[in-house]
């Protein structure tokens, strides 16, 4: 099955650059966990489609993408890649970051390790592949950890009378909303 992003490095760079822009240290294991969550929720949101051509394995420390692990072992790699993400993918990854970026690495890993996908792979052995179908199923049924529709569609806020309103960030000197 083709992936919607050319390579996993583009997704990794998105998270590393987002953390850097927010002056936040992104631990390597948290990077892998965010990528794993992105792949899982993308499969749920887009009916089994792959976000990126990546293979995740169940390691003692949590989910791991071996190629990203090796490439980032000494810091951000200097590789020649066309860094391009569609606006839809940027919005999706931004939603993943917005939902999980402030969580501790330990909290995210604990959540992932409790999924059937991770447990199933771990039962097959250390560093066994976590199958995309299992990832999709784990995040789609039963223990739904976040609302996938909330990642794709903006949240609708309402006034006390029930009227829907649009909420946007306040910009000093900006034009007033209608």
Residue 157 has a pLDDT of 58
65-73: long-range pairs with CB below 8 Å, 24+:
65/8, 65/32, 65/35, 65/36, 66/127, 67/8, 68/8, 68/9, 68/12, 68/31, 68/32, 68/35, 69/28, 69/32, 71/9, 72/12, 72/28, 72/31
pLDDT digits (tens, 9 = 90+) for 95-133: 999 999 999 999 999 999 999 999 999 999 999 999 999
With beta carbons less than 8 A apart as the criterion, state whether 49 and 42 touch.
Answer: yes
Mean pLDDT score of the chain, rounded to an integer?
86
Higher per-residue pLDDT: 1 or 14: 14
Higher per-residue pLDDT: 140 or 50: 50
pTM: 0.80
Higher per-residue pLDDT: 79 or 141: 79
Residue 100 has a pLDDT of 95
Residue 142 has a pLDDT of 43
Residue 176 has a pLDDT of 55
Question: How much is the average pLDDT of 69-87?
Answer: 88
Question: How much is the average pLDDT of 132-150?
Answer: 70
């Amino acid at each position: 099955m083709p992936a919607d992003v050319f390579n996993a490095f583009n997704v990794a760079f998105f998270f590393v650059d987002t953390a850097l822009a927010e002056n936040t240290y992104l631990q390597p294991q948290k990077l892998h966990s965010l990528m794993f969550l992105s792949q899982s929720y993308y499969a749920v949101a887009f009916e089994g489609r792959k976000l990126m051509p990546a293979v995740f394995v169940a390691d003692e420390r949590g989910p791991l993408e071996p190629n990203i692990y090796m490439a980032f072992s000494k810091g951000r790699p200097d590789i020649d890649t066309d860094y391009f993400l569609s606006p839809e993918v940027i919005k999706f990854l931004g939603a993943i970051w917005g939902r999980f970026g402030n969580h501790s690495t330990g909290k995210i890993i604990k959540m992932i390790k409790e999924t059937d996908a991770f447990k199933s792979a771990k039962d097959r052995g250390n560093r066994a592949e976590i199958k995309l179908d299992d990832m999709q199923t784990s995040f789609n049924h039963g223990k739904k950890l976040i609302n996938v529709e909330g990642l794709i569609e903006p949240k609708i806020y309402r006034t006390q009378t029930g009227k829907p309103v649009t909420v946007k960030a306040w910009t000093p000197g900006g034009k007033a909303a209608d």
